[in-house]
Amino acid sequence: MEKIFNLGDLVVMKKPHACGENMWKIVRVGVDVKIKCVNCGREVMIDRLEFARKLKKVLGEENEEKKS
């Protein structure tokens, strides 16, 4: 089952970033996916298939998270 993600969604990856955070924001979607670390701001581009493999959970848009 493929997980659906959109631009601006917050996602949780399987392994944490070097700064210790595993929550990322999707900045760009295309053939590659560009994600930005919520903690340190580091941006990483990952192949879409590799991103789908490493993705653990989609939390939804940042605005939805603040409302809850």
Q: State how far the Cα of 37 lies from the Cα of 22, in Å rounded to an integer.
A: 8
- Round the average pLDDT of the chain to a whole number and report it: 87
Tally of structural domains, the chain: 1
Please indicate, yes or no, if residue 51 is contained in any of the structural domains: yes
Please indicate, yes or no, if residue 20 is contained in any of the structural domains: yes
Please report the pLDDT score of residue 4 as a whole number: 85
Residue 2 scores a pLDDT above 90: no
Q: State how far the Cα of 48 lies from the Cα of 53, in Å rounded to an integer.
A: 9
Residue 33 scores a pLDDT above 90: yes
> b/e for 43-62, b at 16 or more Cβ within 10 A?
eeebeeeebeeebeeebebe
Please indicate, yes or no, if residue 67 is contained in any of the structural domains: no
- For 57, phi then psi, to 5°, come to -155, 145
Average of pLDDT values for 21-50? 94
Average of pLDDT values for 25-42? 95
Residue-number span of the structural domain to which 41 is assigned: 9-60
Average of pLDDT values for 18-41? 94
